[in-house]
Amino acid sequence: MSAPRTRAVYLDHAATTSMRPAALAALTAGLARTGNPSSLHTAGRAARRTVEEAREQVAASLGARPSEVVWTAGGTEADNLAVKGLFWARRTQDPSRRRVVVSAVEHHAVLDPAFWLAEHAGAELALLPVDGEGRVDLDALRAELEEHGDAVALVSVMWANNEVGTLQPLEQVVGLAHRYGVPVHADAVQAVGQVPVDLRASGVDALTVSGHKVGGPGATGALLARRGLDLTPVLHGGGQERGVRSGTLDPALLAAFAAAVDEAVTTREDHAARVGALRDDLVRRVLAAVPGATLRGPADASHRLPGNAHLTFAGCEGDSLLYLLDAAGVEASTGSACQAGVPRPSHVLLAMGVGEDDARGALRFSFGATSTADDVDAVVDVLPGAVERARAAGLSMAVGA
């Protein structure tokens, strides 16, 4: 393998990406000001104005009304508010609405609260299967609704998968669910800034967005919930956000978040074309250079996020590849950063029908604003040697066992 590089090649933008200059400027300017948005004095009113201007900006960027933007501390909280809040609100209105329907490839921020509701709150959980490219099985959703439609509290299907990049058929999901009066939530954390995301045009009832995925600060996010959608609060306290989400709001963080969302949406087409070309080049060259490499997710690039390349390498452990690449100055991931270091294969790949051995040899390369053609060259330069070493190490362990 080549010697370590002086500049790290960062291809893990799906985990988090660098802050945009506009967001950084908004954050640093806001940090110099004092004021609680809930206070009635001059400083408090100025802080409230910053919060509401940010709300208007996010709403305009994502096809929502300002009143439909509920601030949260990130994507995880927004997903929890959607899943738990919708379930409890719907169950209060109609005790027979006990079923929670989610796809088998959701982020754990959706799956875990759904499982929690089944274990602790009397919910009945239905996991929708996916095909070999990670796309939800619409026939299975149709059958679920035909049999249990009157008992379904909500459906949650992500806009785009965080591991393999699959874009889900949300229009059809919404069409099926709404026939039975069932609201649909979509985790759009990975989608904003890469593909068009519009609350009103999509027909979804609630969607999740996260700041640090689009070039904003961490600990910021929002749940966009259409007008009239009832949500039971998950957090209780001061009654902020119309009583849906209590907690003191940080004007500086929200201004930076809004600036990042605005720029991500405004520059989306150029960004998607640029990172998509880099991704396609990487996939083509890796498949040619590394025997046993397999692209996971949709083969048709138009059906996946432009910045996502997810591959498995037969005979390798993903963690071994990750460390070997890191030592050579290339930073990628084995899948969701939230599950990094957990020694088990991806639930997403398993749901797609990938065998456990193959699923363990996964790497995700995700591109962002700082990605260049040189980054692709660097990966192609070091990856074949890393795969060879990882396979040799795995073979030695198997022989020793």
The question of whether 316 is a catalytic residue gets the answer: no
Is residue 1 in some structural domain? Answer: no
> Would residue 2 count as lying in a domain?
no
* Three-state secondary-structure class, residue 311: strand
Check whether residue 259 and residue 300 sit in a common domain. no
Same domain, 225 and 308: no
In a domain, 3, yes or no: no
CATH code of the domain containing 319: 3.90.1150.10
Token pair for 224: 């966009």
CATH code, domain with 134 = 3.40.640.10
Domain containing 290 equals 9-18+268-400
Q: Where is the domain boundary, 221, 248, 266? A: 266
Residue 99 token pair: 């079923």
Instruction: Answer yes or no: are the C-beta atoms of 206 and 89 closer than 8 Å.
Output: no
Q: Among candidates 215, 253, 262, 271, which has minimal Cα distance to 19? A: 215
391: nearest Cα among 365, 361, 367: 361
Q: Which domain-ending residue is among 214, 248, 266?
A: 266
Please state the domain count of the chain.
2
- Predicted TM-score (pTM) of the model is 0.94
Contact 184, 129 (CB under 8 A): no
Indicate if 294 and 255 belong to the same structural domain: no
- Tokens standing for 325? 């690449």
Co-location of 296 and 223 in the same domain: no
> CA-CA distance, 96 to 107, in Å (whole number)?
27
Query: Are 137 and 251 members of one domain?
Result: yes
Domain assignment present for residue 4? The answer is no
Same domain, 209 and 306: no
Residue 88 CB partners (closer than 8 Å, separation 6+) = 121, 232
Last residue of a domain, one of 245, 266, 287: 266
Q: Are residues 346 and 373 in the same domain?
A: yes
262/358 same-domain check: no
- Residues 327, 365, single domain; the answer is yes
Distance, CA of 314 to CA of 323 (rounded, Å): 17
Q: Which of 125, 338, 380, 393 is catalytic?
A: 338
What does the pLDDT profile of the chain (401 residues) look like in tens digits?
445 556 799 999 999 999 999 999 999 999 999 999 999 999 999 999 999 999 999 999 999 999 999 999 999 999 999 999 999 999 999 999 999 999 999 999 999 999 999 999 999 999 999 999 999 999 999 999 999 999 999 999 999 999 999 999 999 999 999 999 999 999 999 999 999 999 999 999 999 999 999 999 999 999 999 999 999 999 999 999 999 999 999 999 999 999 999 999 999 999 999 999 999 999 999 999 999 999 999 999 999 999 999 999 999 999 999 999 999 999 999 975 555 555 679 999 999 999 999 999 999 999 999 999 999 999 999 999 999 999 998 655 554 55
For residue 26, which of 260, 263, 220 has the smallest C-alpha distance? 260
- Residue 272 falls within a domain, yes or no? yes
Is 132 found in the same domain as 207? yes
- CA dihedral 92→123→173→302, nearest 10 degrees, is 130
Q: Is residue 331 part of a domain?
A: yes
Task: Examine the domain organization and report whether 256 and 273 are in the same domain.
Answer: no
In a domain, 236, yes or no: yes
